[in-house]
Structure 1
Amino acid sequence: MSKIYVLDTNVLLQDPYSIFSFEDNEVVIPAVVLEEVDSKKRYMDEVGRNARHVSRLIDGLRASGKLHEKIPLERGGTIRIELNHRSFHELQDIFVEKTNDNRILAVAKNLYLEEQAKENGKPVIIVSKDALVRVKADAIGLTAEDFLNDRVVEIEHIYTGFFELLLPIEVLGRFYEKGELSLSEVANHPFYPNQFLLMKDILGSSASAIGMVDKTSKKVKKLTLNQEHVWGIHSRNVQQTMAIELLLRKDIPLVTLTGKAGTGKTLLALAAGLMHTEDFGEYKKLLVARPIVPVGKDLGFLPGEKQEKLRPWMQPIYDNLEYLFNTKKPGELDAILAGLGSIEVEALTYIRGRSLPKQFIIIDEAQNLTKHEVKTILTRVGEESKIVLMGDPEQIDHPYLDAYNNGLTYVVEKFKDQNISGHVKLLKGERSGLARLAADLL
Structure 2
Amino acid sequence: MKKNYVLDTNILLHDPYAIFRFDDNNVIIPIYVIEEVDQFKREGSERGRNARQVVRLLDELREKGGSLSKGVTLESGGFLKVAVPASRPELPSAIDKTAMDAAILQTAFEVREADGGRPTVFVTMDTNLRIRADALGMVAETYENQRVEPQRLDSGVTELEVSADDIDTFFQEGRFAPLAQFIAPEKGEKIERPSTASLAVGEASPRNGFLIANMSVLLRDRANASHTALGRYDATRREIVSLRTPREGVLGVRPRNKEQSHALDLLLDENIRLVTLVGKAGTGKTLLALAAGLKRTVEDGVYTRMLVSRPVMPLGRDIGFLPGDVGEKLNPWMQPIFDNLEFLFSSGTKKGPRAYAELLESGQLQVEPLTYIRGRSLPAQYIIVDEAQNLTPHEVKTIITRSGDGTKIVLTGDPEQIDNPYVDSASNGLSVAADRFRGEKVAAHIVLTRGERSELAELAANVL
* TM-score between the two structures when normalised by the length of structure 2: 0.86
1:30-429 matches, within 5 Å, as 30-62=30-62, 63-87=64-88, 99-115=99-115, 118=116, 121-151=117-147, 153-184=148-179, 187=182, 188=194, 189-227=209-247, 229-326=249-346, 332=354, 335-336=357-358, 341-429=363-451
1:228–1:244 Cα contact (<8 Å) kept = no
1:88-125 per-residue CA deviation (whole Å, 9 max, x = no partner) reads 99xxxxxx99611011111122334445xx4xx21222
State the distance in 2 between where 1:299 and 1:238 align. 40
CA–CA separation in structure 2 for the residues paired with 1:215 and 1:335: 40
Over 3 Å counting, the alpha-carbon distance change for 1:20 and 1:203 in structure 2 is same
Q: Which residue of 2 aligns with 1:11?
A: 11
Cα deviation for residue 226 of structure 1 reads: 4.8
Q: Find the aligned partners of 2:451 and 2:83 in 1 and give their Cα distance.
A: 51
CA contact (8 A) 2:150 2:431 kept: no
1:16 CA displacement: 1.3
CA distance in 2, matches of 1:185, 1:67: 55
CA change 1:261–1:15 in 2 (3 A) is same
| CA–CA separation in structure 1 for the residues paired with 2:431 and 2:11 | 19
Distance 1:227 1:217 in 2: 24
Change (3 A) 1:80 1:276: same
1:380-430 Cα distance to aligned partner (Å, 9 max, x none): 222333221111122222222222332222222232332222221111111
CA shift, 1:167, in A, is: 2.5
Q: Distance in 2 between matches of 1:421 and 1:114?
A: 49
Residues 67, 239 of structure 1: alpha-carbon distance in 2 compared, 3 angstrom cutoff: same
Instruction: Structure 2 unaligned segments of length 5 or more: list them.
Output: 91-95, 183-193, 195-208
| 1:6 shift after superposition | 1.4
Closer, same or farther in 2 for the Cα pair 1:208/1:298, shift >3 Å? same
Q: Deviations over 1:235-268 (max 9, x none)?
A: 1000100111111222223222111111001111
Structural RMSD (CA) = 2.5
Unaligned residue ranges in structure 1 (runs of 5+): 90-95
SS in 1 for 2:404: coil
CA distance in 1, matches of 2:326, 2:87: 48
SS in structure 2 of the partner of residue 221 of structure 1: strand
Moved more, 210-219 or 245-254: 245-254
Distance 1:178 1:341, change over 3 A: closer
Change (3 A) 1:84 1:225: closer
CA–CA distance in structure 2, aligned partners of residues 342 and 362 of structure 1 = 14
Change (3 A) 1:356 1:167: same
**Compared CA separation, residues 98 and 272, structure 1 to 2 (3 A):** closer
Identity of aligned residues (%): 48
- Whole-angstrom CA distance in 1 between matches of 2:415 and 2:352: 33
* Distance in 2 separating the partners of 1:348 and 1:358: 18
Query: Does the C-alpha gap of structure 1 residues 361 and 303 become closer, same or farther in structure 2, counting only changes over 3 Å?
Result: same
Look up the SS of the partner of 1:40 in the other structure. coil
> What's the offset of the Cα at 1:24?
3.0
CA contact (8 A) 2:343 2:353 kept: no
Please tell me the residue identity of whatever aligns with 1:405: S
Kept in 1, the 8 Å contact 2:279–2:448? The answer is yes
Over 6 Å off, 4+ runs: none
Cα deviations across residues 202-254 of structure 1 (Å, max 9, x unaligned)?
Answer: 23431001111111121111123454611001110001001111112222232
Please state how far the C-alpha of 1:279 moved relative to its aligned partner: 2.2
My pick for the range that moved more, 383-392 or 5-14, is 383-392
Q: 2:186: which partner in 1?
A: none
Report the alpha carbon displacement of residue 330 of structure 1 after superposing the two structures with TM. 11
Deviation, structure 1 residue 282: 2.8
- The Cα shift of 1:197 comes to 0.8
Taking the aligned partners of 1:106 and 1:55, their CA distance within structure 2 comes to 23
Per-residue CA deviation, residues 18-77 of structure 1 (Å, 9 max, x unaligned), is 112223322211111000011111111111111111111111111212111132221122
Q: Deviations over 1:327-364 (max 9, x none)?
A: 9x998467555566522111111222323233222111
State the one-letter code of the partner of 2:172. E
How big is the shift at 1:371? 2.1
Tell me the residue number matched to 1:93: none
Q: Using the TM superposition, give the Cα deviation of residue 372 of structure 1 relative to its aligned residue in structure 2, in angstroms.
A: 2.0
SS at match of 1:160: coil
> Following the alignment from structure 1 to structure 2, what is the Cα–Cα distance between the partners of residues 235 and 134?
45
| TM-aligned CA distance change 1:85 to 1:150, over 3 Å | farther
- Structure 1's 335 and 215: CA in aligned 2 closer, same or farther, altered over 3 A? closer
Letter in 2 for 1:417: G
Aligned pairs, how many? 430
